[in-house]
Amino acid sequence: MIFLKTEDEIELLRQSNLLVGKTLAEVAKLVKPGVTTRELDKVAEEFIRDHGATPTFKGFPNQYGEPFPASLCTSVNEQVVHGIPGDIVLKDGDIVSVDCGTYMNGFCGDSAYTFCVGEVDEEIRNLLKVTKEALYIGIQNAVQGKRIGDIGYAIQQYCESHSYGVVREFVGHGIGKEMHEDPQVPNYGKRGYGPLMKRGLCIAIEPMITLGDRQVIMESDGWTVRTRDRKCAAHFEHTIAVGAGEADILSSFKFIEEVLGDKAI
């Protein structure tokens, strides 16, 4: 069932999502060679709790195994999504996709950003650039009167025009009092298909795009998803609210990019 949000509920969602953006900015300060993904997670959890919220990912149930053990998903290089923070040491030339969720005032926040670690090859930087651009192209199609398939179609066409793979198995989603609500929001699809978007619909749009083949496999931990061909993948995500005109972006990359400066994608 799709739950449309009131203006007051959208403002509560905005607060949770802005906290996600600020948390990712704290992470951005630490992303460099020699840092472990566990260190990123520790800083993020402390920041979230210090601001009166809880990390929604920690303890999230898993049909394939144990609940998620951390506050961030940190997916390095060929890892697409749901990477578990741990003893992985970031190296010069790596990329790391950091997905963060918060719960505050009864509503969830959810956003993701892929960071460069040190000096990254131009081929990989271009993957990140196109994935981020695809996110905003998807958002441009999240308007009242269009359908969910219009978002996926726009993202798919843009990414495939650059010869990138568009992951099918993992998609965006509705968001509100629960982190995952209806409808699902694929990054592929057909124009004019899927649920009709109405004012008050709040969704997380999150392109997951691969440098090579779109096929993915799940690692033995039951969480980490990586590309089958072990080529890199990028992941950017915003939570938005559908309005009468253009979408209202509730999350923010502004805080991240203030930290990154001219190193931002």
Binding positions are 82, 99, 110, 173, 180, 206, 237
Q: Which residue stretches of 51-140 are H helix?
A: 122-140
Could you give the CA distance from residue 97 to residue 100 in angstroms, rounded to a whole number?
10
Structure tokens at 39: 């260190």
Question: Which residues are known binding-site members for a divalent metal cation?
Answer: 99, 110, 173, 206, 237
Contact yes or no for 187/208 (Cβ under 8 A)? yes
| Helix axis angle, 37-50 to 7-28, nearest 10° | 140
* Amino acid identity at 40: L
Beta strands in 16-162 (DSSP E): 54-55, 72-76, 79-81, 95-104, 107-116
CA-nearest of 255, 257, 250, 260 to 110 is: 250
Q: Which of 156, 92, 151 is nearest to 119 (CA)?
A: 92
What type of residue sits at position 242? Answer: V
Bridge partner residues of 150 (DSSP): none
Q: Residues annotated in the binding site for substrate, as ranges?
A: 82, 180
Characterize 237-255 residue by residue with b for buried, 16 or more Cβ atoms within 10 angstroms of its Cβ, and e for exposed: bbbbbbbeeebbbbbbbeb
DSSP conformation letters of 22-59: HHHHHHHTT-STT-BHHHHHHHHHHHHHHTT-EETTTT
Residues pairing with 173 in the sheet: 184, 204
d(CA 209, CA 212): 9
